[in-house]
Amino acid sequence: MILDFTTLSPRDAYNWMADAITPRPIAWVSTISAEGKHNLAPFSFFNGITGNPPTLMFSAVANRGGVKKDTVRNIEETREFVVNLVPHVLTEKMNACAALLPHGESEFEAFGIDSASSTRVAPPRVADAPVAFECVLHSIVAVGEGAGAASVFFGRLVAAHVADMVLGADGKIDPALLDTVGRLGGENYVTTRDRFSVKRPDRK
């Protein structure tokens, strides 16, 4: 079957991509507004970009009314954010944060999610996230217009909190201890519990 993306509706185009591009990591993004109100929301169009300089990205699409998400408003206002990773045990709390709360209402408070101070940026982090990347805005790339239009955020990493409990004996992150969840299409998720290794041809 061939899909013609030049004629698909934006909704269908999004769904075909979300069903196919899997599994996706999840950025659980904490931000702060100019008035100092906290916000927390998940985004699975997310990835690392480069270590030089250390940079990551995530994409927020405008909702059906074309309204900007709180995350977008806050980063535009204060230019900082924290990307918290989502372990299996926090899946339900992460999912709850996709609810449409009025602007300025904190998901940390609404859903009983413990926060902790960041060290280099103003937005708090999720206290129980195994890793939290503190980011300063590098740039925003606007893609499209109206409903479904994306704001792609590039963030410069300035610090990361790595929970000691996810470190293996070699001092590195042990994927089994990290136990992150990934996003599939629809309301489906995946764990990293069925792991395997493959030798790289370009490494000794």
Ligand X SMILES: Cc1cc2nc3c(=O)[nH]c(=O)nc-3n(C[C@H](O)[C@H](O)[C@H](O)COP(=O)(O)O)c2cc1C
**Run of H or E including 177:** helix 175-178
Q: Which two tokens stand for residue 122?
A: 């103003």
Q: Is 81 in the site for ligand X (CB under 6 A)?
A: no
Considering only residues 22, 55, 59, 191, which one is a binding residue for ligand X as defined by CB under 6 A?
59
With CB under 6 A as the contact rule, the residue among 33, 71, 84, 115 that binds ligand X is 71
Task: Report H helices in 21-171.
Answer: 70-78, 91-96, 107-110
Q: Which residue's entry shows tokens 């270590």?
A: 51
Which C-beta is closer to ligand X: that of 39 or that of 115? Answer: 39
| Closer Cβ to ligand X, 61 or 129, answer by number | 61
Least Å distance between CB 15 and ligand X?
A: 13
| Interface with ligand X, residue 93, by CB under 6 A | no
151 binds ligand X (CB under 6 A): no
How many Å apart are CA 179 and CA 86, to the nearest integer? 8
Paired tokens of 111: 């859903």
Nearest partner of 82 among 40, 45, 111, judged by Cα: 40
Interface with ligand X, residue 91, by CB under 6 A: no
Return the amino acid letter for 136: V
Among 32, 56, 57, 60, binds ligand X (CB under 6 A): 60
Which residues of this chain interact with ligand X, rule CB under 6 A?
26, 39, 41-45, 59-61, 69-71, 95, 98, 100, 183
